[in-house]
Amino acid sequence: MRIATGRSDTGNGSANRMPGPCGPSGRRGRTGPAWRAFGVLIQVLLAVARLGAQQWGGELRVCLHSEPRNLDPLLVEDEPSETVRYLTGGVLVRVNRATQQLEPELAISWKIENGGRTIAFRLREGLRFSDGTPFTAEDVAYTVGRLMDPALHSPTADTFRSGSGPVRTAVRGPHEIAVIFPEPVAGAARLFDQVAILSHQSPQRPGAVLGPFRVVEHKPGSYLLLGRNPNYWKTANGRRLPYLDAVRLQIVQSREMEALRLRQGQIQAISTLDPDLFDEAPGARDIGPSPASELLWFNLKAGGAIPAYRRTWFASPDFRHAISLAIRRQDLCRVVYHGHASPGIGPVSPSNLFWFNRRLAPRGFDPVAARRLLESGGFRNSGGILLDRDGHPVEFSLITNSGNRSRERMAALIEQDLAALGIRLHIVALDFPSLIERISKTFQYEACLLGTSNVDLDPNGQMNVWLSSAANHQWNPEQPAPATPWEAAIDHLMRQQASNLDEHRRKALFDQVQQIVWDQEPFLYLVNRDALVAASPLLHNIQPSVLEPRLLWNVERLWLR
């Protein structure tokens, strides 16, 4: 993964390093003591200038692509709300978006106890919420209690439910607390990256926050103004961070308008840039594969309105492999994404440094192998039309959501790729609600082209996809029992890894899941989109990450010139 690093922050001391007394060795000419002293003086002046380079204050302006649905941090389920939660919420531990490692935040340390059923946190002392109320273990207990309240229906709570029983808390002291799960939870600490701690006694909750900013003004449909949290606990050079006074989140749905605003200097950063706009956006950067994938799958749901002979095609791994081999993924990346994508491999993007199975490789374009696989399955080509064993012409429909130009273009490329095999593809662009209705309720579709983004790095976040009983097991959801042996194997491996506390053992188990998915191809992974960002040269200290929020993850250390 390529991660472009921004300018270094003098707060971490890197810029305080003085240059060595000697210039580059081997230079001849005027190297007398007077010149050396002059050189040292210049470098000292530059270093001093860098030391004081950060500017405090200013308002950072960025865009959200829709209105945040909920500003309650425990009820976040959409991307804009998640951004607001990230900028305002204080969490016990944080996944560093650059290193993808867990780092202490409000908790100084944590310890797994009781065979993985308990996680004990030691909290930072002397912290205060934005309204001045003190931060204690009671606040964590209150937050977890509210999060797990079934009446709240918090989407975040689903990841905490490891078994049939309540998640409890035990306050062990003013700054010590244990969270007790009914069953062992692997990677439990990571779950707390998404839990913004609420004050149990503040009358302003959930407005009282521990993050770098707090919501000051919200004009629905127009903007959200975040002001600095006067009690934020992180400091730099003896002053409380963040450097910025405010962040204005403007609600702009059109990505073209967003790029235009960046060009005109009305905003300073774009965290998700459209590939079509990359070349024109000032300060645009491609920071490598993102966790987002584009994929295609066939409907294998029993009882769906598909002729039986077509279901037989789709259920055949050889047929799926043949389709996969006939698609020119490199063309999808080059033509549709202007080169800002890489061929898809499997359930985990290469951007997920720890969990990605590096033994897997993208399926190449191999029409000869595709034809061979089809012939072995009884298919034959007659006058440029592929026929199955019973003489049915091979044709099927592919649905995707209308308005998404990248997907519509991909579908058009795939249509021509498959036409070379004699397969006729009907592309149907449906409005999003109709598409969701078909893939999740009526199952009246044959193949679907959609995208997915794994927000959670941990494979436990994908349980709702890989378990055969899960609702998001898209190709054949909510199975009473696994329909195939390989789905049963995935069920077994996913459950095993979820209850194992050894990270490396979990990795080995999840690698097997990825291998099975690669072998069986229930999902045909097409491309991994690159994370594209753009930032004004006025914005400093940016360290773009492929994980959300890409440019704002170190918002407390960003500053504007």
Out of 40, 369, 429, 489, which residue is the one contacting another protein (CB under 8 A)? 429
Which is nearer to another protein, 107 or 281 (by Cβ)?
A: 281
**Residue 384 beta carbon to another protein: minimum distance, rounded to whole angstroms:** 15
Provide the β-strand partners of residue 31.
none
User: Does residue 409 interact with another protein by CB under 8 A?
Assistant: yes
* Cα–Cα distance list, 486 to 198, 482, 492 (Å): 43, 8, 10
User: Does residue 72 interact with another protein by CB under 8 A?
Assistant: no
Q: Which of 378, 375, 395, 379 is nearest to 387 (CA)?
A: 379
Torsion of CA 130, 135, 141, 145, to 10 degrees: -10
Provide the β-strand partners of residue 398.
427, 447
User: Does residue 277 interact with another protein by CB under 8 A?
Assistant: yes
In angstroms, the CA 2 to CA 347 distance is 20
**Residue 385 beta carbon to another protein: minimum distance, rounded to whole angstroms:** 15
Whether the CB-CB separation of 54 and 243 falls below 8 Å is answered with yes
Backbone angles phi, psi at 487, to 5 degrees: -70, -35
User: Does residue 69 interact with another protein by CB under 8 A?
Assistant: no
User: Does residue 264 interact with another protein by CB under 8 A?
Assistant: no
Tokens of 371: 């034809």
**Residue 444 beta carbon to another protein: minimum distance, rounded to whole angstroms:** 7
Which is nearer to another protein, 213 or 445 (by Cβ)?
A: 445
User: Does residue 265 interact with another protein by CB under 8 A?
Assistant: no
User: Does residue 387 interact with another protein by CB under 8 A?
Assistant: no
DSSP class of residue 49 equals H
User: Does residue 397 interact with another protein by CB under 8 A?
Assistant: yes
User: Does residue 280 interact with another protein by CB under 8 A?
Assistant: yes
Which is nearer to another protein, 438 or 557 (by Cβ)?
A: 438
48-56, 168-176, 205-213, 331-339 -> range binding another protein (CB under 8 A): 331-339
Whether the CB-CB separation of 234 and 206 falls below 8 Å is answered with no
Out of 138, 183, 408, 503, which residue is the one contacting another protein (CB under 8 A)? 408
What is the number of other CB atoms lying within 10 angstroms of the CB of residue 459? Answer: 26
**Residue 425 beta carbon to another protein: minimum distance, rounded to whole angstroms:** 10
Q: Sort strands 447-453 and 395-401 into parallel, antiparallel or unpaired.
A: parallel
User: Does residue 416 interact with another protein by CB under 8 A?
Assistant: yes
User: Does residue 282 interact with another protein by CB under 8 A?
Assistant: no
User: Does residue 396 interact with another protein by CB under 8 A?
Assistant: yes
326-334, 372-380, 486-494, 539-547 -> range binding another protein (CB under 8 A): 326-334
DSSP run (H or E) holding 526:
strand 523-535
User: Does residue 260 interact with another protein by CB under 8 A?
Assistant: yes
Out of 251, 413, 483, 508, which residue is the one contacting another protein (CB under 8 A)? 413
Out of 86, 445, 475, 525, which residue is the one contacting another protein (CB under 8 A)? 445
Which is nearer to another protein, 207 or 451 (by Cβ)?
A: 451
Q: Name 238's Cβ contacts closer than 8 Å, sequence gap at least 6.
A: none
Q: Which of 254, 129, 245, 119 is nearest to 179 (CA)?
A: 119
User: Does residue 366 interact with another protein by CB under 8 A?
Assistant: no
Out of 276, 318, 366, 503, which residue is the one contacting another protein (CB under 8 A)? 276
* Cα–Cα distance list, 407 to 294, 295, 319, 383, 546 (Å): 8, 10, 22, 30, 21
User: Does residue 341 interact with another protein by CB under 8 A?
Assistant: no
User: Does residue 430 interact with another protein by CB under 8 A?
Assistant: yes
18-26, 444-452, 483-491, 533-541 -> range binding another protein (CB under 8 A): 444-452
User: Does residue 279 interact with another protein by CB under 8 A?
Assistant: yes
Which is nearer to another protein, 72 or 415 (by Cβ)?
A: 415
Which is nearer to another protein, 356 or 443 (by Cβ)?
A: 443
Positions 230 through 259 that interact with another protein (CB under 8 A): 256, 259
Q: How close are the terminal C-alpha atoms of the chain, in Å?
A: 30
User: Does residue 428 interact with another protein by CB under 8 A?
Assistant: yes
In angstroms, the CA 332 to CA 359 distance is 23
Out of 17, 172, 219, 405, which residue is the one contacting another protein (CB under 8 A)? 405
Provide the β-strand partners of residue 217.
225
DSSP class per residue in 171-194: EEETTEEEEE-SS--TTHHHHGGG
**Residue 430 beta carbon to another protein: minimum distance, rounded to whole angstroms:** 6
**Bond prior to 367 in cis (omega within 30° of 0):** no
What is the number of other CB atoms lying within 10 angstroms of the CB of residue 402? Answer: 15
**Residue 298 beta carbon to another protein: minimum distance, rounded to whole angstroms:** 13
Out of 79, 82, 446, 491, which residue is the one contacting another protein (CB under 8 A)? 446
Q: Which of 177, 168, 194, 179 is nearest to 122 (CA)?
A: 177
Whether the CB-CB separation of 453 and 481 falls below 8 Å is answered with no
Q: Sort strands 118-123 and 107-113 into parallel, antiparallel or unpaired.
A: antiparallel
User: Does residue 176 interact with another protein by CB under 8 A?
Assistant: no
- What's the maximum distance between 2 C-alpha atoms anywhere in the chain? 93
- Sign of the alpha-carbon torsion through 148, 153, 158, 163: positive
328-336, 351-359, 469-477, 529-537 -> range binding another protein (CB under 8 A): 328-336
**Residue 252 beta carbon to another protein: minimum distance, rounded to whole angstroms:** 15
User: Does residue 427 interact with another protein by CB under 8 A?
Assistant: yes
Tokens of 520: 């069986």
**Chain Cα centroid distance, residue 204:** 31
User: Does residue 434 interact with another protein by CB under 8 A?
Assistant: yes
User: Crossing angle of helices 317-326/308-315, nearest 10°?
Assistant: 70
Which is nearer to another protein, 427 or 483 (by Cβ)?
A: 427
**Residues that bind another protein in the complex, under the rule CB under 8 A:** 256, 259-260, 276-277, 279-280, 328, 331, 334-336, 395-397, 399, 402-403, 405, 408-409, 411-413, 415-416, 426-431, 434, 444-446
